[in-house]
Amino acid sequence: MILLRSFPLSLSIFWRFLLVLPLWTAFYLVITVFSVFGSLMLIGSNLFVTLLAMIVIPFAITAIVYIISMHPYLIGIRIGLRVLGFRTDPSQKRLLIGATGYGLLEAIVAFIFTSILFAGSLILLRSEVGLLTALQVDPTVDPIATLSRELAFGAITVLSFLSAVAVMALRAAILPALANFAAGRSPNGVSYSSIDGFGSNLITMMALLLMITGISAVIIPFAGDAFGYLGLTNVLTNELGDIVLFVFDDKDVSFTMLHAFMVAAAILVSIWLFCLQCAGAALSYASRAAQSAASRNAAVEAQHARSEDIGALLRSRMQKHQK
């Protein structure tokens, strides 16, 4: 049911998301510029700072990337919840703090997943998995974009597939928790912790992400050179960094109107597929809210029935006593 309802809701989220995305993209661009050039300035100072920067900067940049990958989800899911009639917390500061926390959480868990898979690949080196194959693991900030490209180009390996699916399962598990955070309350209306909802509707959410992966894999061959812009999370992380380096390096590039049209179309499709994920998360929240309401109504009706039974029993005893 969530899968079917996700499509019309995603369209409602889509046009609203388009209105706010340019402002937030500018904010992400500023963060990217500061991270890129701040890193270059630190590395070019003295030896101690350079060594310290070489240790800290990779972790800092990774954290920023995962924060940028989480924040749009909170925006899109909050829009979806409002469309469904739920009240949400309007604080933008709170969303940024939440994106930081969830982004760092996913970064840590994804790193653990990747490390375990890499260690497992080393064990399999004695059989059919070679060292080069084991090393072909890209950072899976956007598992949908990574897996869909590998499927479309026939470049998938066992290790890259398992890595992408592991991070995708993590994303599927965390989306309902993001819906709780975007709403500012749990579906039953009481206070909650930041991990409430984690893993809810996991099978349905995973099926939704796999379906989006399949759609992306089918679209990629028609996107031409613009296939790199399929996947909104990928665009907001990898492509923004490339744009910054391109602008300040002042490189010459042949850029035709056809290419611009294909890039724009790819970005719009990416935004819609992203909104489809947000719609699934919002509907997961709505489903859990409906279940909580049904449970409360059942409890009230059961209490009312018990009260009526007790009242009937007392009246029966009083009548017998009067006789």
Residues 60-113 pLDDT 10s = 777 778 788 899 999 999 999 999 999 888 788 889 889 988 988 888 887 777
What's the whole-model pTM score? 0.82
DSSP 80-141: HHHHTT------HHHHHHHHHHHHHHHHHHHHHHHHHHHHHHHHGGGTT--HHHHT-----S
What percent of the chain is predicted at pLDDT more than 90? 28
Is 132's pLDDT higher than 50? Answer: no
Return the amino acid letter for 6: S
Let me know the angle formed at the C-alpha of 20 by 4 and 147, rounded to the nearest 5 degrees: 50
Dihedral angle at the C-alpha atoms of 67, 135, 171, 98, nearest 10 degrees? -20
219-262 per-position pLDDT tens digit: 998 887 788 888 888 788 776 665 555 555 555 555 677 777 88
**How many separate helices (H) and strands (E) can be counted in the chain?**
10, 0
